[in-house]
């Protein structure tokens, strides 16, 4: 397996750092035959819908340019955690990365609207909003910090799962240590609901539950299955507390090193990949739910009004920010 250290040491990563000479900049690697080689990273496994969607982008770029543009993927966290991938993309060490929106909240405030509790009512609502201009508004915000927003991939409803007991009311979370991503919104939400939030990488979560360092986590069904967290946590509670999507980003250095025509092609192909990702997501989420059910996972519904009421103070806190409030109102218009 290629690791982040090997990647940066072999020259693939070095090729991705801008080289300024003879009046031209170059931020992407070169294949032996002179083709331009783009690198992409993801912490998810090879058959995860975001990974396969980016693979589709690579296939399309190669086909539409006669092999002049190619893409090499490093999935399954081979190049490190998402926080590391963001920095690697910003500085041009990799070209493209898929990142959970919660990990972007502090640096890119507009992404907070996508993560707030109970802003979206369903996957259908989220997709209508994203397609109705919300995605474009959020993606434009990345230009200020050396990144280009390519697309937003939705990732289903985030729910609670744990090793102890069913979660029906917020009080059932009291005292539980739950893994969360490094996001202020999710850390605050867990505290508000009475849980003890424990920021931790996705890769460390399984061992955290097995060693009783944590009692559970919150995530979508597809990740619950692909990470094999269901082998440690037997209780899944359908809280639907957030529909925080994923964001596909490109290094601004890499993007600007492309010709205007290739920049447009990358943007167009990335946007087209959203429908590819959604088709694969819907099919794989259904398969994942059946697989964990067959394993013996206990599913339960939650007292949704109670959860909405408990989370509302956090929502109101963030809506004090005018720009965030305006974007959230636009999202609610699609409900």
pLDDT digits (tens, 9 = 90+) for 163-184: 999 999 999 999 999 999 888 9
Beta 216-219 vs 69-74: how paired, if at all?
unpaired
Q: Domains in the chain, please, with CATH?
A: 4-155+245-285 (3.40.190.170), 158-243+287-333 (3.40.190.170)
- CB neighbours of 87 closer than 8 A, spacing ≥ 6? none
Structural tokens at position 166 = 């069913």
Q: Are strands 235-242 and 298-301 parallel, antiparallel or unpaired?
A: parallel
pLDDT tens-digit profile of 6-15?
A: 555 554 444 4
- Rounded to two decimals, the pTM is 0.88
Write the CB contacts of 332 (distance below 8 Å, at least 6 apart in sequence): 119
Specify the DSSP class assigned to residue 76.
Answer: T
In the block, tokens 């999935």 appear at: 75
3-state secondary structure of 182: coil
Q: Return the residue matching tokens 């694969």.
A: 280
pLDDT band at 27 (very low <50, low <70, confident <90, very high): very low
Q: Is 92 exposed, middle or buried (0-12, 13-18, 19+ CB in 10 A)?
A: buried
Residues 60, 229: Cα–Cα separation, whole Å? 34
Confidence (pLDDT) at 143: 85
Span 90-141, pLDDT tens digits? 999 999 999 999 989 988 999 999 999 999 999 999 999 999 999 999 999 9
Q: What is the pLDDT of residues 64-76, one digit of tens each?
A: 999 999 999 999 9
* pLDDT on residue 84: 87
Phi, psi at 174, each rounded to 5°: -60, 125
CA distance readout (Å), 330 to 83, 110, 134, 200, 325: 29, 13, 8, 32, 9
284's CB contacts (< 8 A; 6+ apart) are: 47, 48, 49, 222
Q: Cβ distance 128 to 334 under 8 Å?
A: yes
Q: Are 215 and 164 in contact (CB under 8 A)?
A: yes
**Burial (CB count within 10 angstroms: exposed 0-12, middle 13-18, buried 19+), residue 271:** middle
Q: For residue range 229-282, what is the model confidence (pLDDT) as tens digits?
A: 999 999 999 999 999 999 999 999 999 999 999 999 999 999 999 999 999 999
């Amino acid at each position: 397996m290629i690791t982040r250290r090997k990647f940066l040491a072999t020259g693939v990563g070095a090729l991705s750092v801008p080289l300024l000479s003879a009046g031209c900049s170059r931020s992407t690697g070169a294949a032996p035959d002179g083709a331009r080689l783009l690198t992409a990273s993801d912490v998810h496994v090879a058959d995860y819908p975001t990974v396969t969607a980016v693979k589709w982008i690579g296939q399309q770029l190669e086909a539409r340019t006669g092999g002049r543009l190619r893409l090499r993927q490093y999935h399954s966290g081979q190049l490190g955690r998402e926080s590391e991938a963001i920095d690697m993309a910003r500085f041009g060490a990799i070209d493209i990365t898929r990142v959970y929106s919660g990990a972007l909240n502090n640096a890119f405030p507009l992404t907070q609207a996508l993560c707030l509790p109970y802003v979206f009512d369903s996957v259908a609502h989220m997709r209508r909003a994203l397609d109705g201009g919300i995605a474009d508004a959020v993606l434009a915000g990345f230009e200020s910090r050396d990144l280009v927003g390519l697309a937003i991939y939705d990732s289903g409803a985030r729910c609670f799962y744990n090793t102890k007991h069913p979660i029906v009311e917020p009080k059932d979370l009291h005292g539980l240590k739950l893994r969360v991503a490094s996001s202020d919104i999710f850390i605050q939400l867990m505290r508000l609901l009475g849980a003890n939030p424990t920021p931790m990488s996705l890769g460390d979560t399984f061992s955290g539950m097995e060693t009783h360092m944590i009692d559970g986590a919150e995530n979508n069904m597809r990740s619950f299955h692909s990470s094999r967290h269901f082998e440690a946590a037997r209780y899944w509670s359908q809280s639907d507390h957030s529909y925080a999507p994923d964001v596909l980003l490109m290094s601004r250095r890499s993007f600007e090193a492309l010709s205007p025509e290739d920049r447009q092609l990358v943007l167009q192909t990335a946007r087209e990949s959203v429908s590819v990702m959604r088709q694969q997501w819907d099919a794989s989420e259904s398969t994942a739910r059946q697989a964990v059910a067959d394993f013996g996972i206990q599913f339960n519904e939650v007292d949704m009004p109670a959860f909405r009421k408990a989370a509302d103070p956090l929502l109101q806190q963030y809506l004090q920010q005018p720009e965030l409030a305006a974007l959230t109102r636009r999202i609610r218009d699609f409900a």
